Structure 1
Amino acid sequence: MPLPVFELDPRLAADSVFIADGPLSQLRLMDDARFPWLLLVPRVPGALEWVDLDGAAQRLLLAELNMAASLLREQFAPVDKLNIGALGNLVPQLHLHVVGRRIGDAAWPGPVWGSGARRPYGGAAPELASRLARSLSGFPEAALPAP
């Protein structure tokens, strides 16, 4: 019997741009220029919740989350607050949002979800995703434990 294959939810694919594959997750840029916003999508078929991952995968996802938060702070400074969420109400596939918030941004102080029309990066999205991918090389391999 063939092993299940990871498939990215079509809504996540439509709303974000691929940056890089980490040891466990795809790192993606949310295509909304109003907010510095990254997504981590574990490449684990059928995972809907954090608790669907075994302990090793949970620790790896936490390391990737820390890396994504550091990347966001470094590349989108200044960031006043980090919002981290795994809601899954509209897209059940397990994914984590890492959103850089700035006092006075388009949704401040409320949540970014449902805060008005998304403003896509347009033609700038691929270059921004590429720049973010290149900056990942600055993170030590030791920061991401082996799977």
Structure 2
Amino acid sequence: MTATNELAGLLIRAAGRDDVPALVALFADDALGGHDDTADPSALPDYLAAFDWIAANPTNAIFVAEIDGEVVGTFQTILGRSLSGRGAMHLTVAAVQTRADMRGRGIGTAMRRFAIERAGVLGASKVKLTSNASRTDAHRFYRRLGFAQSHAGFTLSLRSEASD
């Protein structure tokens, strides 16, 4: 599944293994994420293993947004189903990043629209996302796109903070 957008030259497509270094660079450049991501080449095998696992899972997908062949954004979708809600399917959007110097140009909006369209194609009745509580700008952005804050999230780390 690929899409082009009214933003000049923007293409959203499934990520490939060759995109992983560019995606890692996006995550490593994120001061608010708190995931301890790093562009150190010694960590690349960890990211490649994660990409391979995600790519092999039919309910998961990673996408890139690119302009003129350059990765400027990314997000992951995870299709889930719960017994509550009469077994409704939902699409969770995760690991959303837009390159810092490209923010405010409509890339995030295009990625969200793409994810929402994907949810409809997959038969999901709801699109979910989570966002770090410190990302107040992102929260305003999600509200402008029609998302409503509905839950409080909690995380329990099972690894030491240095290895998250």
TM-score by length of 2: 0.35
More helix by share: 2
Structure 1 or 2, whichever has the larger Rg, is: 2
If asked which structure has higher relative contact order (CA below 8 Å, sep 6+), I would say: 1
More strand by share: 2
TM-score by length of 1: 0.38
